[in-house]
Structure 1
Amino acid sequence: MKGAVATDVETGGLRGRMYASRASAAVQPEGLAETPTIVLIHGIGVSHRYLVRLHQVLARTADTISLDLPGFGATPHPERQLTVADHAAFIHDVLDRAGVGPRVLVGHSMGAQFVLEAALQRPDQVPHVVLMGPVVDVRRRTLFRQMLALTRDALLYETPRSNAVVFSDYLRCGPRWYLKQLRVMMNYRTEDRIRSLNTPVMILRGASDPIASGEWCRILARRAPAGKLVEVPGCGHVVQYTGTSQVADEISAFTGLPGSGTAQQALNRH
């Protein structure tokens, strides 16, 4: 990733990779003693690669980190299945070891489960949470319906480039680890866990996303004690890739960090 420092990270016998960028122009958000770092977390089967565009825009005004979690991207597969709580603890341990203070957690798809659980584990360290395209929709809690929605999204709502990034990462992940973690994803009750989240949370979806449907995301926003829903027109599930400038602006506004008024110009240079 251009401009980011890549570091192999390890904690508790699990290995991942961190991509960190220092802000080119950071501003202290009102009411916070320390400027938070934005942390981007990928979903099942993929890696930081489909978060690069969002990372680069956000890093213009805030310190930004993307993580490749154990078993994803180029990281080695763990010997055991990892729970959502395991991933959440790994995220915090890695950030603590890197000296990161307050952290705005932004997760996509299954990554939304990871950051939700991480915010519940350490609410004192997480001033805001963003769940992009969260799973698993209560009306689609079967593998068949999940795969059908994924196929619809890829064929109808994604670009050839976003599909290439996602499906090449699926190949790198491999079916064995993907399926092992898929069982974890399907069994996690996002709709129940979010009831305990007192941290302000933004549910963000592409308005055409067939995986994280509008009704499902409205359920989550209503159940969260401090939740709001934002929809980005013209985008499917991988909204952070196809609607990057809008997503960056929404995250900046929600967290009180500086807006990315030049987001599109930044994207045009990358």
Structure 2
Amino acid sequence: MKSDFAPEHAATRTQRGQTAGTCYSVYAPQSSAACETVVLIHGVGMNQSVWAPQIDALSESFRVVAYDMLGHGESALPSAEPTLDEYAAQLEALLDAIHVERAHVVGHSMGALVALEFALLNAPRTLSVVALNAVYDRTPAQREAVMTRAASLGGAPAASGVDATLSRWFGDPIPGHLTQAAQAVRALLLAVDPVGYARTYRLFACSDDAHVGRLANLAVPALFLTGECDPNSSGQMSHAMAAVAPRARAEVIAKARHMMNVTDPERVNASLLAFLAEASAAHAAATTGERHG
């Protein structure tokens, strides 16, 4: 579908396709030098186009893969009662199809849960993982609120539900300088497949504890990045995850909200690029050590 999000200048889309029910795009740097791959996984109600600001920045140095999560965009529906490993398996199958052995995996919101699940299940294929605005071990009040929203879903959100979502994500009232981004996100929410949205949101609503007790086994470098003004994916959650994962750190972007990848792309991209450079260097050093060991 058409979107107001579009990479501006650096990104050259070298491939767009569909494999095993997954719609994806590949962007490569303008140089022909070999480079590592970064995979971007969007959140509930979005599609791959929402990553345009990151595609533009990351594709200067990395091969970037963005795809539509199950039930979103042009990808197939998930099963009637999906689990996180079904979404992780979607990514694994995509990497197989496009012949990517290892990748840095970046996810936002629901996509962050998928990214972490993939990294836990597929450490040898994961160079690093970034969880943007991830949920973790919600409070009882937070859990009740999200479960109530999930229970009310009969499909895609109605206009009133979209407006409530935008208020949570952008603020109420929405600041004038964020109006264009909010309108683009609103269009994606209104266009999402109703069945895919409902199935995925219900999974998202009950998955905040999916990685409780498991992050100590996260074997790869990890960045937990969220916004100061995102109460449902709070800085406290990101710090709690980073405290458990052995090779992790947390960062909180001041005054940023849930959709910070589109509202604060410069600061998000700076954090991503710094972390990915560190993770790449660590991988290169480990690989050199293995060869000379």
Q: Which residue of 2 aligns with 1:116?
A: 116
Q: Which residue of 2 aligns with 1:267?
A: none
Q: Which residue of 2 aligns with 1:179?
A: 198
CA contact (8 A) 1:146 1:211 kept: no
Question: After the TM superposition, which parts of structure 1 deviate over 6 Å for at least 4 consecutive aligned residues?
Answer: none
Shift of 1:53: 1.1
What letter is aligned with 1:19? Answer: S
Aligned length: 250
CA contact (8 A) 1:130 1:201 kept: yes
Q: Which has the higher contact order (CA 8 A, sep 6+)?
A: 1
Shift of 1:203: 0.3
Q: How does 1:221-232 map to 2 (within 5 A)?
A: 221-232=242-253
Deviates more, 1:219-228 or 1:166-175: 166-175
CA contact (8 A) 1:133 1:237 kept: yes
Shift of 1:220: 1.1
- The reply to whether residue 252 of structure 1 matches residue 258 of structure 2 is no
Structure 1's 47 and 233: CA in aligned 2 closer, same or farther, altered over 3 A? same
TM-score scaled by structure 2? 0.76
CA contact (8 A) 2:80 2:199 kept: no
Distance between the aligned counterparts of 2:32 and 2:137, measured in 1? 37
Corresponding residue to 1:240 among 229, 250, 261: 261
Distance between the aligned counterparts of 1:236 and 1:86, measured in 2? 28
CA contact (8 A) 2:71 2:195 kept: no
- The reply to whether residue 24 of structure 1 matches residue 30 of structure 2 is yes
Structure 1's 51 and 154: CA in aligned 2 closer, same or farther, altered over 3 A? same
* Structure exhibiting the larger radius of gyration computed from Cα positions: 2
Q: 3-state DSSP class of the match of 2:212?
A: helix
Shift of 1:26: 7.7
Q: 3-state DSSP class of the match of 1:169?
A: helix
What letter is aligned with 2:214? Answer: R
Distance between the aligned counterparts of 1:246 and 1:220, measured in 2? 21
Q: Which residue of 2 aligns with 1:98?
A: 98
Segments of 5+ residues of structure 2 without an aligned counterpart are: 1-5, 150-163, 280-293
Q: How does 1:43-122 map to 2 (within 5 A)?
A: 43-78=43-78, 80-122=80-122
Shift of 1:97: 1.3
Distance between the aligned counterparts of 1:246 and 1:183, measured in 2? 31
TM-score scaled by structure 1? 0.82
Q: Which residue of 2 aligns with 1:214?
A: 235
Q: Deviations over 1:98-123 (max 9, x none)?
A: 01122000000000010101111110
Percent identity over the alignment is 23
Q: How does 1:2-13 map to 2 (within 5 A)?
A: 3-11=12-20
Shift of 1:223: 1.6
Q: Deviations over 1:51-71 (max 9, x none)?
A: 111111110111111111221
What letter is aligned with 2:276? Answer: T
